[in-house]
Structures are given as structure tokens and as C-alpha cells.
Amino acid sequence: MIQKIKTCTVCHEQKPIDDFYLEKRGPYKIRRSDCKICKNAKKQEWARNHRAHINLYKKTHRKGENSWRRSRYLSDGDWRKRRLLENKAWRCGVKRTEVEQLQEKWDGSCAICGITSVANPSKNWHIDHCHDTHKLRNILCHHCNTMIGLAKENPSILRKAAEYLEKHQEAQS
């Protein structure tokens, strides 16, 4: 297997591609031009030089300039739903209208296991989508969405897991 090499724009050393952070730019992921070591050194230097700025931000952030956003989030349900929808669409790499259409078609149950209510509200409904094509599939509960993710979106792994469970279920009976 050929290992990809990239040159850092700061230290000008050639390093393996894994020595460069991945950054998400909308629906795409790209490698940074500076290596992890140079990036971390730059962050530490900036923090040392801007200690007063950081402390001021920590003091004002909770009660200061962003308090309007928090109070609106808590008081305006429609605005909160719109923001959550925009965030979900951005994370999936799709348009907000696509997510709205999917939610309109949704019958209120998980597309895999069929449950209609989520026991833990912090683990809400998830919009399932293909990470390669960014195509929306359906709305799933937290457990089913996690199952698909842990199986690396590979149907053959899920089939083997089902066969394994069926084999051991018969052995117990």
C-alpha cells in the first residue's frame, strides 16, 4: 500500500497525509496545508499572546453579546425548530428544503425498528443520510442510527450480524 505524502507549508517537511488535520468545509473534508505539529504550535502561541482577549471572551460570552441568541432560542419555539433544522441540514450536507420534505413525509416512527417515541429526549430522532453521496434516506431513532454507523453503512455486515444472532438464538432454545 502506497502511503500518501504531503509537504507542510510552515516547516516545509514532507510528512504522511495522516499528520495533517482533516477539516470539514460544508459537505467536503479537506486536509490542512500545515501539519498537526505546526498547527498546534501556532494555536499555543496565539493563546499565549492573546490571554487577555481569551479571558474577556470567557467572561462576556455567557452573559454578554450572545445572550440574545440564548434567550430567543429558549423563548421562540418556531425559531428554535428552524435553527435545529438548518443545523441538521448543514451537518448532512444537504439543503434545508430537502430535510423539510423528508420530515413532512415522516409518519412519526423509526424506519427500522418502528418505535414511535424516544425514551431519552437527549437522544432525539436522527436524519439518516449517505455520507458519500449526501442523499437523505429516512428518519431513525438513536439506536438504529448508531447501529448503521457502527456497521460502517455496510449491508453485508448487518446481514452477518443478523445471521449470527439467529444462529445463537436457535442454540439457546
Is 54 inside any structural domain? no
Domain-embedded: residue 80: no
- Segment-wise mean pLDDT, segments of 10 residues, the chain, 173 residues: 86 93 84 93 94 82 66 75 77 80 81 77 74 82 88 90 87 62
In the chain, what is the straight-line distance between the N-terminal and C-terminal CA atoms, in Å? 47
Tell me how many degrees the CA angle 148-152-124 measures, rounded to the nearest 5: 35
Sign (positive or negative) of CA dihedral 94, 100, 104, 107? positive
In a domain, 37, yes or no: yes
Position 156 scores a pLDDT of 92
Whether 67 is covered by a domain: the verdict is no
The answer to the question of residue 12 being in a domain is yes
pLDDT of residue 46: 94
Give the number of domains in the chain. Answer: 2
Q: What is the pLDDT of residue 173?
A: 58
Domain assignment present for 58: no
Cα 53 from Cα 61, distance rounded (Å): 12
- CATH number for the domain that contains residue 22: 3.30.60
Q: Which three cell numbers stand for residue 57?
A: 471572551
Domain span holding position 29: 5-49
Residue 128 maps to which CATH number?
3.40.1800.10
Residue 71 CA to residue 59 CA, distance in Å, equals 18
pTM of the model: 0.50
* Residue 87 domain-assigned (yes or no): no
- Establish if 68 belongs to a structural domain: no
Clarify whether residues 43 and 97 are in a common domain. Answer: no
3-state SS, one letter per residue, for the chain? CCCCEEECCCCCCEEEHHHCCEEEECCEEEECCCCHHHHHHHHHHHHHHCHHHHHHHHHHHHHCCCHHHHHHHHHCHHHHHHHHHHHHHHHHCCCHHHHHHHHHHCCCCCCCCCCCCCCCCCCCCEEEECCCCCCEEEEECHHHHHHHHHCCCCHHHHHHHHHHHHHHHHHHC
Asked if 99 and 163 sit in the same domain, the reply is yes
Confidence at residue 8, expressed as pLDDT on a 0 to 100 scale = 93
Sign of CA dihedral 12, 6, 36, 133: positive
